[in-house]
Each structure stands twice: as structure tokens, then as C-alpha cells.
Amino acid sequence: MTCAQSAASRFSGVPNSSTKQLTLLLGGARSGKSRTAERLAASSHRVLLVATAEPGDDDMRARIARHRADRPAEWATLEEPRDLAGAIAAYRGEYDTLVLDCVTVWISNLMLAGADVFGAVDALLETFEHGAASWIVVSNEVGLGIVPATELGRQYRDILGQVNQRVATRADRAYLLVAGRALPLERL
């Protein structure tokens, strides 16, 4: 089996509920993360999409509307900008697969609210551990570009990088999305 065949066999969708897994999809803006998450979840019967964005301006309202229109009508949607652990826990047992789109916006929401980011991440991962559903978690990789010019931008980049590492440590599978293609991220 070639390396490409091996990667393709690992990137074949969400396992059934008896083999719960956490899959992390990382990438830059417009890299194909959300579409890939939707494709992976498409084989599941009961899907909960957890959206973290708030419609703060016209551009964000348009993005949210586009995402709503693109996702399958039979999926349930939970829109929660900050208390993911609490909101998701209320749905425990109702879904086979949960798609969290996205950690990037969630962390921004938490930081701007002055919340305990790492406590919230730990609570979220604990919620995954106590549930039966497989999760597909979407997050941006923002550490590959230039150093942000502002202190807040640098703090955000650093905190999101640490959060992504925490989620990746727990993840059963992790992929970097580039131009709509997935590269498996191996543990060393």
C-alpha cells in the first residue's frame, strides 16, 4: 500500500457510533475545512452541527447564511458562541456525529468576553469523553503567516495554537487541509 493509499483509507468518513472518534481538521481560510467536515459527516444518520459564529456585521451574516444553505437540511444545528460544553451536553445521546465549526471563532469569542479559554477547552474535551458521538472539529491554523502587528493578534495566535495542540493531543485523527486536500498529521 502506498503512502497516498494509506492516507486515503484513513480519511474515509466518520466511523459508526461503536467506535467513537475525534477528528481534527486544521487549515487556513478557504482551505476546505468545512466542506471536508460535511463530507466526513455525510455518512452519519444523526448529525448535530455546532456553529460558533455570531452575525456581527453584513459579511458575517452572509457567511452564516451561506453555511446554513450548504449543509444538509436533515442535520440539526446548535448555534452557541461561548458555552459549548454546556450546550453540547444537553444533546448527549441524541446524535451519532457532532461537527464543531469552528474552534477559531469560538476562541475569539471567549477571549473577547474575558473567559477562561483553557478551562473552556478542557470542559469541551471532557464533554466529548462523556458522550457517545464521534466529533469532527474544525479549526484554523493561524501560526503559519506573518507575526500579527498587535498584541491582541499575537495573543490570539499563541492561544489558538495552544488550543489546537490540546485538541490534537486528544484527537484520534488530525488533518491539515490545503487547497481542499487533506494531509494526515501523524503523532511522533
Query: 127: domain CATH number?
Result: 3.40.50.300
> Closest by alpha carbon to 143, among 176, 117, 173?
176
Print the domain residue range for 7. Answer: 3-184
Q: Residue 103: is its pLDDT beyond 50?
A: yes
Q: Which three cell numbers stand for residue 117?
A: 479559554
Is residue 137 over pLDDT 60? Answer: yes
In this prediction, residue 3 has a pLDDT band, given cuts at 50, 70 and 90, of: very low
CB 166 within 8 A of CB 121: yes
Count of domains observed in the chain: 1
**pTM for the whole structure:** 0.89
Confidence of residue 11 (pLDDT cuts 50, 70, 90): low
Q: Write down the pLDDT at residue 84.
A: 97
Task: Identify whether 130 is a catalytic site residue.
Answer: no
Contact 134, 21 (CB under 8 A): yes
Q: Does pLDDT of 48 surpass 70? A: yes
Q: Please identify which of the residues 39, 67, 82, 181 carries the catalytic annotation.
A: 67
What pLDDT band is residue 6 in, cutting at 50, 70 and 90?
very low
